[in-house]
Structure 1
């Protein structure tokens, strides 16, 4: 009898949880509201399905004033959209912020049916196609590009191939030479595990061995290794990033319940097919020169895209203008870990761009 009541209680809690998530899953973005409680005049807040490079992909477009400059955001992962963290961000006050759900990810899960389309070159062309669509839609000849993690890798290659589309590139946690980054991350996690006497983690890492790995082995490794990085504060310095991020997905109003169920599936496929290409690419050699201003925002405690490698790439990169913003209390996500300092640095970079543009005119 007791076992029966326990079973019923568990089922009830599961149903309650599913109902709670469903309630927070309308698949719509809320309007931007003025002080009188009405939609702000001339604001924009839309979720749009757009034909991009032969497939339907989704864009979240939000801004207090749709005549402001367009800022396209390239999310991390690959396969980990960040609209759950960026919808309603302060950047919407000064930009039309566009969160693009990349091929096979989030709301664009259906655009990832063909494995053959999961090449870095395809994603670069996708990014260019999105940028052209935005330029036409908002009547702006060039847009700004903001990227995080995997998005920085995609962003560098996109800016390199299509510099005419962009005014400036803002990079958060730059991927540059990711095989070396994975070796640093492996060594650091092993060191931290030994300090904590986490013998199971130590044994698993020693059995795994130091990178590189065969292409088919990266997904399984990263699935558990990144969780340990987060636990040891190499993903977010003052908190564990995973609960923070998962909660944001569950409460994200822009996703339907089906979007949330498919989210992890899209991420797994994206990593499985794209990560071997990332670790096989060295941006020091592939993209030593960019013809667009470059601004880097990097946390010193980052053990996913470690600071020393990003700093070396910044130092050797040739660009019309460049500037590095170092975050002493951040790991992999300074935009969320030190938001005030990030906004200060971003505003400084934008002021530099606007001053230069005014002087050129």
Structure 2
């Protein structure tokens, strides 16, 4: 009879791909009891908190540790209960919980109340595990409407909670080019949820992609994630919209495009960019978060949010003679530096160390 696995409590604000992947790897070593913090309307937040309170009162005493994906409203009770019950609470800092962009109302620290709960959570936690160093502190020069620095250490200057960087990890055996699909020349791709919202279009740089498409008619631009029947006003003829799709289908779309665009104003360690590189796409990214470090010398970096610079970069990319070689190098970097096993070892090892 096998010994029962130790119990871990896991909390998250949405069931994103990051959450699903971490849940799967933690379940290898722990019995994970998890709860989402998912109010449909703002007024429901106290009710969801009440549900979280009862969940904690029921399970905290059997648990070895608590894990929160992101800091915010949902992490405060777990961090507080962890402190009271002397059970370590680990917060995985993933992106939005490390930044503030008041110009577009984005980031946990752009909201004074939400920012306060995130700060309290970080202070009460036993440890923080950001997915990249740039989420701890980064100089920010991509656009000048917000702060000159970002990162949770910048927005929480008195914070003393220790941190350990644990990179995201990816399955290079699943994410690989489908060689039965012909890769189209001068083809650019981006994947984005919430395309019908102006806020998202600006945050993810989709507005720039639409503008540069009109300036470079000889290229094609594909955007994945469009709601049914959605179309942009004055959408250029060389822009194609595709719906949100299963991962297997997405792999085929990556394989059919030469370049992948990620021109976000804010990013942590983006999944779609990483997946596209494993499928051999040449990356073009904004100088934001982890992205310039991830792509190294395999692609192109947009230093400022400027359409003229972007057009120059797109045309420069189209002149590259051997994009296949560059794409292969992008895959090799992702496969060797950011495998799933590395994140698994780092996360499980840190939890075991915290439990003692």
Q: TM range, normalised to the smaller chain?
A: 0.3 to 0.5
TM-score of the pair, normalised by structure 2: 0.39
TM-score of the pair, normalised by structure 1: 0.39
Looking at both structures, which has the greater relative contact order when contacts are Cα pairs under 8 Å and sequence separation is at least 6? 1
